[in-house]
Structure 1
Amino acid sequence: MERNITHIALFAALIAVLGLVPKIDLISGVPITAQSLGIMLCGTVLGARRGALAVLLFLGLVAAGLPLLSGGRGGLGVFAGPSVGYLVGFPIAAFVAGLVVERWKVSIGIASFAGAVLGGIVVMHIFGIIGMSIMLGKSLTEAAMLAVPFIAGDLLKSGLAAGITRGLARARPASVLSRN
């Protein structure tokens, strides 16, 4: 129990630290950030349930006003902007990524990459596109076109998440809770 709480808090902090990497603002108003790598790692390392809880803790701190999102953003106002779909999708993305790693009994690297792609790209962009469509008053197709610039970087982050998870599993197998 205590170990779970520590891991959840540690990964919420990891997402916050990845927000210190400078963001790249796009015309859609949704920035490219390193924080989606943290979301992927929450799932691939902690597993579905703990990964989603770490992200929910992070989002709770953001909602409470802490400037933890990339660019020093925080507070309830961020949930009324074009990135709201991505924020809502964060915990679901971590859950799906973790579920893939937990259930798919192939090598940890392959399972982590598949989980990061499915959760951290597919699921996150489904929510993000819907959020942009609503908040920007665009059709789903128009909003999807705004999400295209994210895909290459997200594939790179998926590879990083898989590599980090695989390296962690080799160095300290007990620390990859998604496989314990």
Structure 2
Amino acid sequence: MERNLTLIALFAALIAALGLIPKFTLGFGVPITAQTLGVMLCGTVLGAKRGTLATLLFLLLIALGLPLLAGGRGGLGVFASPTVGFLIGWPLGAFVTGLMVEKLRFASLGVTAAIASVVGGIIVVYIFGVIGMSYTLNKTIPEATMLVTAFIPGDLIKAIVAGAVTVALYKARPKSVLSRV
């Protein structure tokens, strides 16, 4: 139990640390950040349950006002901004990513982790992100969907990185990749 709590806190801190990389905000108010890589890694390394808890802890810290999002944003106001859907999608994205890595063992860990990151860390998160942007920006779903296409290349790279990091960690310390224990 103690180990689980430590890892959940560590991965919440990882998401925060990835927010230190300078953000690039697009014209519609949603930044391109490295924090989604942290969400993907929560799922691929910690698994569905722990990965979800790590992202929920991170969101709780943001709601309490800690400036942990890229650009030093935090507080309840971010949950009324165009990023709200993405934030809501993070725990669900981590869950789906982790569940896929836990259950799908037909391919190598790297391939499975990368595919799981695409499905959970991109598709699931984008579904919520599009809905949130549609609502907050007063756009139709197709209009909001077109806006998120700017994120696809970078997020695909993050999914590949998540797969590579997960494999490297597994090779170095197999028991540390809890999604495969």
TM-score by length of 1: 0.99
In structure 2, how many angstroms separate the alpha carbons of the residues matched to 1:86 and 1:149? 14
What's 2:147 paired with? 146
**Could you tell me the percent identity over the aligned residues?**
63
Give unmatched runs, 5+ long, in structure 1: none
In structure 1, how many angstroms separate the alpha carbons of the residues matched to 2:112 and 2:102? 8
What's 1:121 paired with? 122
Superposition pairs for residues 89-108 of structure 1, below 5 Å? 89-105=89-105, 106-108=107-109
How far does residue 28 in structure 1 lie from its aligned partner after superposition? Answer: 1.5
Moved over 2 A (4+): none
How far does residue 52 in structure 1 lie from its aligned partner after superposition? Answer: 0.3
Superposition pairs for residues 11-160 of structure 1, below 5 Å? 11-105=11-105, 106-160=107-161
1:51-85, Cα deviation, whole Å (9 max, x unpaired): 00000000000000000000000000000000000
TM-score by length of 2: 0.99
In structure 2, how many angstroms separate the alpha carbons of the residues matched to 1:59 and 1:43? 16
The amino acid that maps onto 2:54 is A
How far does residue 47 in structure 1 lie from its aligned partner after superposition? Answer: 0.1
In structure 2, how many angstroms separate the alpha carbons of the residues matched to 1:100 and 1:27? 34
Could you say what secondary structure the match of 2:30 adopts?
coil
Could you say what secondary structure the match of 1:126 adopts?
helix
1:1-30, Cα deviation, whole Å (9 max, x unpaired): 000000000000000000000001101210
What's 1:161 paired with? 162
In structure 1, how many angstroms separate the alpha carbons of the residues matched to 2:83 and 2:91? 14
What's 1:171 paired with? 172
The amino acid that maps onto 2:170 is A
The count of corresponding residues between Structure 1 and Structure 2 is 180
1:119-143, Cα deviation, whole Å (9 max, x unpaired): 0110010000000000000000000
In structure 1, how many angstroms separate the alpha carbons of the residues matched to 2:161 and 2:112? 13
Could you say what secondary structure the match of 1:69 adopts?
coil
Give unmatched runs, 5+ long, in structure 2: none
Could you say what secondary structure the match of 1:70 adopts?
coil
In structure 2, how many angstroms separate the alpha carbons of the residues matched to 1:166 and 1:28? 36
The amino acid that maps onto 2:156 is L
Query: Pairwise CA RMSD of aligned residues?
Result: 0.4
In structure 1, how many angstroms separate the alpha carbons of the residues matched to 2:130 and 2:27? 14
In structure 2, how many angstroms separate the alpha carbons of the residues matched to 1:90 and 1:156? 18
Could you say what secondary structure the match of 2:68 adopts?
coil
